[in-house]
Amino acid sequence: MELDVLMNGELAGTLGYTAATHRYVFRYSPVWLSRKERYALGPTLPLETGADTTEEQHSAAVRQFFENLLPEGQALDDAASTHKLSKGNLMGLLAALGGETAGALQLRLPGTVATPVPEARRPLSHAELSERIRARPFHPFSVWDGRVRLSIAGYQDKIAVFEEADGQWALVEGGHLASTHILKPEPVAAQLAGLTGNEFFCMRLAHRAKLPVAEVALVRVPEPVLAVKRFDRELSGGRVVRRHIIDGCQALGLSSALKYERPYGDTRDVRDLREGASLPMLFALLEHCPRPAAERLALLRWTLFQVLIGNTDAHAKNLSFYAGREGLTLAPAYDLVCGFAFDGVQLLDTTYAMAIGDAFHAQELSPFEWASFAHACGLPLRQVSIELARMAKRVAESLPGTLEDAREAGVAPALVELLHAIVVTECERQARMAPEIAKVDPALL
């Protein structure tokens, strides 16, 4: 079984699978390798495979990279069921869903590029979207017109759409069209009620705090839907240009099952097995960047913001990089959510997706843990101390404008007040802690 792998419409290579040996292989095309602007799809898929890389190692790296293009959870179940495939059939799923993945990659059966699909726009009205949102308990949200319209990683319900010049949405395919926005309705689960408003608040707070972040809008159809503008798409002259991105798991060469630092859970017997993605691993990646110092600062600020908003789901697949000829560059932030808001009265009794030092809980976070984080990530203690104080101040000063944004968007007043209280508490606590970080004796780390 083989699939052509296209980069923004140009053949970059071929993905192959041999069932008898259960091995995968990826080879760059001669045309791609001859390009002056050629570059690797990611750090784990170099343009030239090292002589010391075994077939098993190469196969594992290829599988891990491409499986991260698939959705997770119920969306993956629905895709497999719709196409009558096993969830473990990576090649079959990529063949079915590979036309609209994250970034610039497209996967197609060989020969289909020579017969391009005609351009098609299928309008999506608010009324139809509302009906489908309400029908989710009976009808998979990712399946439209008998086709899976989603190949974006993550568990949350979402659909990728094209936004017309007049603001109307459409399902598109073929030609130079591709989705430009991702629509995320409220989850079906009652315990996650308010997630769209929560994410809108946190994303707008990041924007006001001057962090690079995806643009969002809260639209009512009348159910609340968060519309996220894709930062891996650029609309130019009626044509959608795709931009190559990879998430943290792809960059690290990890499967999606290892997106959390504690991939086996937080129970007593397994909580010390920290074999998943971690902040030190992500900071080490930045040696692949054209400007390592600038990217380290950007990743540090991303990390600080997660702590200040109480985001307990800031895992490696909720972080992405632009990948190009010069290396990796941190992409805008996305999927910013205050996890503390879903923990009832015990707001701070929650677990971070990736530890700060050895602190997985907010109540464990201390100047020493911040210093331990800095040491493990190769950051000066003084830099972490200064940046934490600055970020806490900036976020606190950005709250009034964010409150106004949320109220104008129709976020429930009780949720707005809860989020405000959580962020104020965290900003004040971290601001008190910040000066003490630089005082930690390096000999203790």
Domain containing residue 427: CATH number: 1.10.1070
Handedness of CA 154, 160, 166, 168 (dihedral sign): negative
* Predicted confidence (pLDDT) at residue 344 exceeds the cutoff of 70: no
What is the token pair recorded at 295?
């990217």
Instruction: Report residue 234's pLDDT band, with 50, 70 and 90 as the boundaries.
Output: confident
Give the pair of three-digit tokens for residue 36.
Answer: 């002056």
- pLDDT of residue 367 exceeding 60, the answer is yes
Return the pLDDT at 1: 93
228 within 8 A of 152, measured Cβ to Cβ: no
Statement to judge: residues 107 and 186 lie in one domain: no
Instruction: Answer yes or no: do 225 and 87 share one domain.
Output: no
Q: Which letter, b or e, does each residue of 54-81 get, where b requires 16 or more Cβ atoms within 10 Å of its Cβ?
A: eeeebbbbbbbbbbbbbbbebbbebbbe
Is there a contact between 46 and 57 (Cβ–Cβ < 8 Å)?
Answer: no
Cα(67)–Cα(69) distance, integer angstroms: 5
For residue 115, pLDDT beyond 80: no
What was the pLDDT predicted at 154?
61
| Token output for 353 | 């997706």
Task: List, by residue number, the catalytic residues.
Answer: 313
pLDDT of residue 281: 97
State the distance between the two ends of the chain, measured CA to CA, in whole angstroms.
51
Q: Which 8-state DSSP code applies to residue 378?
A: T
Question: Total domain count for the chain?
Answer: 3
Same domain, yes or no, for 401 and 414?
yes
pLDDT at 141 over 90: no
pLDDT tens digits along 177-200: 888 999 999 988 888 889 999 999
The pLDDT tens digits for 382-392 are 999 999 999 99
Largest CA distance in the chain: 65
- My answer on whether 263 and 158 are in the same domain is no
For residues 248 and 257, give the distance between their C-alpha atoms in angstroms, rounded to a whole number.
Answer: 12
Length of the chain: 445
177 vs 352 pLDDT, higher one: 352
Is 233 found in the same domain as 108?
Answer: no
pLDDT band at 153 (very low <50, low <70, confident <90, very high): low
Check whether residue 191 and residue 285 sit in a common domain.
no
Mean pLDDT of the chain, nearest integer: 90
> Is the same domain home to 206 and 281?
no
Q: What is the mean pLDDT of residues 201-226?
A: 97
Q: Which domain holds residue 307?
A: 246-444
Which pLDDT belongs to residue 116?
Answer: 54
Q: What is the structure's pLDDT at 347?
A: 36
Domain C-terminal end among 189, 220, 239? 239
> Which amino acid is residue 146, in one-letter code?
G
Domain boundary residue, one of 85, 113, 141: 113
Same domain, 121 and 109: no
Please, which pLDDT band fits residue 118 given cuts at 50, 70 and 90?
low
23-27, 88-92, 405-409: range with lowest mean pLDDT: 88-92
Q: Are residues 84 and 184 in the same domain?
A: no
Q: Do 232 and 261 share a domain, yes or no?
A: no
The pLDDT tens digits for 54-78 are 999 999 999 999 999 998 877 788 8
The whole-number pLDDT of residue 417 equals 96
Residue 346 pLDDT: 39
Q: Model confidence at 349, in pLDDT bands (50, 70, 90)?
A: very low
Question: Which percentage of the chain shows pLDDT scores above 90?
Answer: 68
Residue 343 has pLDDT above 80, yes or no: no
Map tokens 């830099």 to a residue. 383
The CA-atom distances, in angstroms, between 153 and each of 74, 87, 182, 255 are: 11, 14, 12, 12
The confidence score (pLDDT) of residue 148 equals: 75
Mean pLDDT of 259-273: 91
426 and 279 part of one domain: yes
**Which of residues 203, 220, 239 is at a domain's end?**
239
Mean pLDDT of all residues in 93-101: 86
Q: What is the pLDDT of residue 348?
A: 39
User: Lowest-confidence range among 79-88, 193-202, 259-268, 390-399?
Assistant: 79-88
The β-bridge partners of 15 are 3, 26
Who wins on pLDDT, 125 or 75?
A: 125
Residues 227 and 106 both lie in one domain: no
